[in-house]
Amino acid sequence: DAGVIQSPRHEVTEMGQEVTLRCKPISGHNSLFWYRQTMMRGLELLIYFNNNVPIDDSGMPEDRFSAKMPNASFSTLKIQPSEPRDSAVYFCASSLVGSAYNEQFFGPGTRLTVL
């Protein structure tokens, strides 16, 4: 079991550029989550997909952020245009919602730095 896979692990970009973060959930999981972690705000849920459909995007900070899940094995989080305040660690997690535990499995994260 490879676990949740995220790429890239580190991204450094300049303000105004487009950034795309990628996630491959654990095979068989029906739910995917994108989180952002900062010192100031801790762990924030950005968006939740169930069966590839966005269910809760109330945590997406603004229109510059968008997320897609075209199939059960792939999701992207895009920031366009990026700003310095977007610098954070972005985590993807997957889960089998509806199982006995609803436990979330986290990827290693992508550390984003916007200059």
Partner 1 sequence: AQSVTQPDIHITVSEGASLELRCNYSYGATPYLFWYVQSPGQGLQLLLKYFSGDTLVQGIKGFEAEFKRSQSSFNLRKPSVHWSDAAEYFCAVISGTYKYIFGTGTRLKVLA
Q: Which of 1, 2, 42, 71 binds partner 1 (CB under 8 A)?
A: 42
Q: Are 36 and 44 in contact (CB under 8 A)?
A: yes
How many whole angstroms separate alpha carbon 22 and alpha carbon 34?
A: 10
- Give the count of residues interacting with partner 1 (CB under 8 A): 25
E strands, the chain, in order = 5-7, 10-13, 19-24, 31-38, 42-50, 53-56, 65-71, 74-79, 88-95, 104-106, 110-114
Least Å distance, CB 97 to partner 1, is 5
Confirm or reject binding of residue 52 to partner 1 (CB under 8 A): no
Pick the piece of the chain touching partner 1 (CB under 8 A) from 11-19, 20-28, 69-77, 94-102.
Answer: 94-102
Confirm or reject binding of residue 4 to partner 1 (CB under 8 A): yes
Q: What does DSSP assign to residue 101?
A: S
Binding-site ranges for partner 1 (CB under 8 A): 4, 31, 33, 42-43, 45, 48, 50, 55-56, 91, 93, 95, 97-98, 100-109
